[in-house]
Amino acid sequence: MPSRPAAYLCLALSMSLVGSYVALSKPLAAALPVFLLAWMRFGIGGLGMLHWLKKPADEGPMTPQVRRLLFLESFLGNFLFTLCMISGVSLTSAVSAGVTMAGIPAAVAVMSWFFLKEKVSARTWIAVGCAVVGIALFSLSNSEHHNQVNSRHEGENDPNLVWLGQLLLLGAVLCEAAYSVIGKKLTGTLGPRRITSLINLWGFALATPMGLYAAWHFDFATLTPGLWTLLIFYALAASMWTVWLWMTGLKAVPAAQGGVFTVMLPISAALVGVLVLGERLAPVQLIAFGIAIASVVLATLPEKSSMRRLSSEANAEAMDSQSPRH
Could you tell me the pTM of the whole model?
A: 0.82
Rounded distance between C-alpha atoms, residue 172 and residue 259, angstroms: 15
Residues ≥6 apart with Cβ < 8 Å to 86:
34
Nearest to residue 288, comparing CAs of 319, 304, 307, 265?
Answer: 265
Q: Are 289 and 131 in contact (CB under 8 A)?
A: no
CB 102 within 8 A of CB 135: yes
What does each C-alpha distance from 181 to 18, 231, 257, 275 come to in angstroms? Answer: 18, 29, 11, 33
3-state secondary structure of 325: coil
Are 7 and 251 in contact, with CB atoms under 8 Å apart?
yes
Measured N-to-C along each axis, helices 104-115 and 122-141 cross at an angle, to the nearest 10 degrees, of: 150
What percentage of residues in the chain have a pLDDT greater than 70? Answer: 83
* Confidence (pLDDT) at 139: 73
Contact (CB, 8 A) for 128 and 109 = yes
pLDDT of residue 7: 93
| 90 SS3 class | helix
pLDDT surpasses 90 at 69: yes
Give dist(CA 27, CA 31) in Å, integer.
6
- Between the alpha carbon of residue 10 and those of residues 7, 159, 173, 221, 241, the distances in Å are 5, 42, 22, 38, 10
Residue 243, pLDDT above cutoff 70: yes
Angle, vertex CA 43, rays to CA 187 and CA 35, nearest 5:
105
> What single-letter amino acid sits at 37?
L
**pLDDT score at 153:** 42
pLDDT at residue number 277: 67
The predicted pLDDT at position 78 comes to 86
Q: Is the pLDDT confidence value at 63 over 60? A: yes
